[in-house]
Chain A
């Protein structure tokens, strides 16, 4: 039996640190926390009509990881492929955890990396929940 996969799609928003955190958290899941179960998709590639990426999101569950409430990743997936299995918004999570101005956007500092790791753990919780549905 093949290993079940989930697509984790980050907005990677360039304008704010939450976009950097969404990106780093997604990479941490892909590289360290759930490497066998995770596939990631380039959001801009997905939107210019890359068939493979759109098909993946149609056939497999996806988790959108957005930096802000504009939810570009979630909206893109749902526009081009289908409903997301889960949607996480980094700014909401940081607010819930009481983390303000965690880091510069260009390069995460220690606090920013710690926040990214916490977001990555949230993604893993969401993945586990999807697998048990």
Chain B
């Protein structure tokens, strides 16, 4: 993997949205775009770890946030990362009002469905980035 797109979730712990952001990331990184993407620990970046900062500055990043606080996006911007795109689980929920995720510790079926929808969207974005170059 020469230039992976980094998918970075907020992994918020208080609501199902954070758990969904995490599942979205693993689905993209381990299944949909295994050879084109990677992730890193947001908490490591938050603490200013040199390798993590270098990594987000040198690779295109996609922030996946659960809620409007946008912790992933804001932390990436704080460290001058190359943010190519950002997504919020709450926005996808608004577009899919029939889904009502509620479990936090272990995702329920609606949470998984929502994660699948957002993961597909991000996979398309990765295709776009890899065919059309960096969006800055």
Contacts and interface: CB of A to CB of B under 8 A. Distances in A.
B41 A44 contact: no
A105 interface: yes
Interface residues of B, number: 32
Contact of B40 (A14, A26, A43, A45): A14
Contacts, number: 93
A105 B18 contact: no
Between B40, B105, B106, the greatest number of chain A beta carbons within 10 A of the residue's beta carbon is seen for: B105
Given A13-B41, A23-B13, A48 B71 contact: yes
B44 A42 contact: no
Nearest to A16: B41
Given A28-B105, A40-B14, A45-B71, 14 more contacts: A11-B41, A14-B22, A14-B25, A14-B41, A31-B105, A42-B10, A42-B14, A43-B13, A43-B46, A44-B43, A45-B10, A73-B43, A76-B46, A76-B47
